[in-house]
Amino acid sequence: MNRIGPLFLRDASGYGGCAMSLPKSFPVSGTLLALFAFVMMLAFGIDFLLALAVLVVWLGSLLLAVSQPPESPILAREQPFTRDNMRDLIEYAATPLLVAERSRITIANRAARRLLGAHVINQDLRVAFRQPAAIKLLSKEVDGSAVVRGLARRRDIWRINRQGIGDDLAVIELINHTVEADISRAHTDFVANASHELRTPLSSIIGYVETLREDSGTLDEATETKFLDTILAEAKRLQALVSDLMSLSRVEAEKHDVPETQVDLGSLVETAARDAAGPERVKRLQLSLTPSLMIRGDAQQLEQLVRNLVDNAFKYGHPDTPVDVVLERFENGQARLSVEDHGEGIAPEHIPHLTRRFYRTDPGRSRASGGTGLGLAIVKHIVERHRGRLDIASEVGKGTRISVRIPLIQSEPAELS
């Protein structure tokens, strides 16, 4: 053992003396080692005073080490947690935390008060939560977890973890799983929508091919030509859909990588807009472009953005109306690209959903025009990668204007439009 009782010091006569209490954790083994080293130094002929000095320093360091008080309550188990230091410990945690004493909430940190309200302090746990799964867990006063829905808002999903501390106290942790559930739901919806969109043209192609194969000798030339044209159109639609799915996947994978290449936005917009219009529609294209607007961007993705916007404007604008493409220097050191059609416009309730995958205001018209329902979703992700902003404004009966703002290279002076 490393503990010894009082040490009695005798006076010169050998009788009487005084008692000196050593620390409870006095290092006996270290002291013996120091004395052994002292004797060995004398045996090897080292000066007595020098050996004695080494012994005194050695013993002094040992006594100093065992006499130092613990630096924190975590290292000193003898200092118990109190409500005050528990409150200070959890107050600024990002996760909502509660401390309950005999099923009554005594401490709630800032995140928990923001979630449940400050009134939960001193409330019974069953009153504070009111969800059957939570009440079942917390009433048993045993460690465990439960998943509850609608804790703060109707679609919230939270996991409640209970961990007991001693006989009376328990820490209750609230972990928000709403975002994970939303992502999972979005992935499920995407797979379902993509499967439906792929199945439709495939079913049409298979149906027409089977008809041609079974009735190849009975169909007239005009009918066969019509069937073949339909097969070709559905195959091109399928090809466009697969191409857009691949583009969306690439854009999403790269959306956190900030582009570094300098791009002349004016010349890029002009080239991409003319390509999207094609020789048949280029006469309806009206360009108003400010030259020498330099940004940092991915040229290929920016060309795709412009083509998608211009193509949509031609599809949904009236056949005899122009499509206006304007590129200008905007406030706060930004370039603003606006593409406007003069079509039927979009009802206000549809505008917040336009950038969702496969969302269409008129599914029949969109499919008939060759749309995949992914164009604006791709545009949104490209704008996010370029740290820009996408705005959609529309008025029923007058048309739709989609604007994209992208920061200019900082060396260019910012002017107000």
Based on the residue annotation, tell me whether 196 is a catalytic residue of this protein. yes
Number of neighbours of residue 400 by Cβ within 10 angstroms: 23
Please give the mean pLDDT across all residues of the chain: 81
pLDDT of residue 6: 42
Burial 183-222 (b: 16+ CB within 10 A, else e): eeeeeeebeebbeebeeebeebbeebeeeeeeeeeeeeee
Radius of gyration of the chain (CA): 39
State the DSSP code for 26: -
| Locus of tokens 């080292």 | 46
pLDDT digits (tens, 9 = 90+) for 220-274: 888 888 989 999 988 988 888 888 888 888 888 887 888 989 999 999 999 999 9
Euclidean distance between CA atoms 293 and 413, whole angstroms: 11
pLDDT digits (tens, 9 = 90+) for 43-81: 777 778 877 887 888 777 777 766 655 554 444 444 455
Euclidean distance between CA atoms 163 and 417, whole angstroms: 60
SS3 (DSSP) at 103 = coil
pLDDT digits (tens, 9 = 90+) for 328-376: 999 889 999 999 999 999 999 999 989 988 887 776 666 666 667 888 9
pLDDT digits (tens, 9 = 90+) for 180-209: 877 777 777 777 777 878 888 899 899 989
Residue 175 tokens read as: 């972990």
Euclidean distance between CA atoms 208 and 215, whole angstroms: 10
Domains of the chain: 7-67 (no CATH), 83-176 (3.30.450.20), 186-254 (1.10.287.130), 262-407 (3.30.565.10)
Residue 324 has pLDDT above 90, yes or no: yes
State the DSSP code for 153: S
Q: Which of 119, 196, 318, 353 is catalytic?
A: 196
Question: What phi, psi does 213 have (nearest 5°)?
Answer: -70, -40
pLDDT of residue 142: 78
